[in-house]
Amino acid sequence: MTRIGIFPGSFDPFTLGHLATVRQGLRLVDELVVAVMTNTGKTSLFTAEERVAQIKVATADLTGVRVVAAPQMLTVAFAKQVGAQVIIRGLRDAADYTFENSIAVANAKMAPDITTVLLPADANNVGTSSSIVKEIAAFGGDLTPFVPANVSAALRQKFGDGM
């Protein structure tokens, strides 16, 4: 039986922290579906299609990764739709743990057959968020420590070449 996991997120933009979580998640499942989800509380910089394309490039060297734009639906409903047994989530800090644990508890009530796994960030990615990355990009900062090269190029295109 193939173990399928999903790694849901808005990924706006996809960071090196997200990539590290994908790599960690692949140690736990045979196939990891990176699901570009809709966050109704955020306005996206990139379209879902742009984010999917960026993530596909960033994960092209990894076996077992599938990247999709997920429809607007609950994460557990999408997990069931793709046959996932596991939801992978990354943690940068204690605030993430509190937030993600609450979601994991709600998901377990709705879908007790799906396990949420919370993976801590490695030391290089603690504190890195998409919001911080967008701020650095907007002011022309060096994105090298934060995002894959293809995402850096896409951010430069959105914010101009002042980098």
Residues with active-site annotation = 18, 42, 92, 130
What does the alpha-carbon distance between residue 12 and residue 33 come to, in Å, rounded to a whole number?
A: 17
What spatial distance separates the first Cα and last Cα of the chain, rounded to whole Å? 48
- Three-state SS for 58? helix
Q: Show the tokens assigned to 135.
A: 């701020």
- Provide CB contacts within 8 A for 123, sequence distance 6+: none
What does the alpha-carbon distance between residue 126 and residue 102 come to, in Å, rounded to a whole number?
A: 20
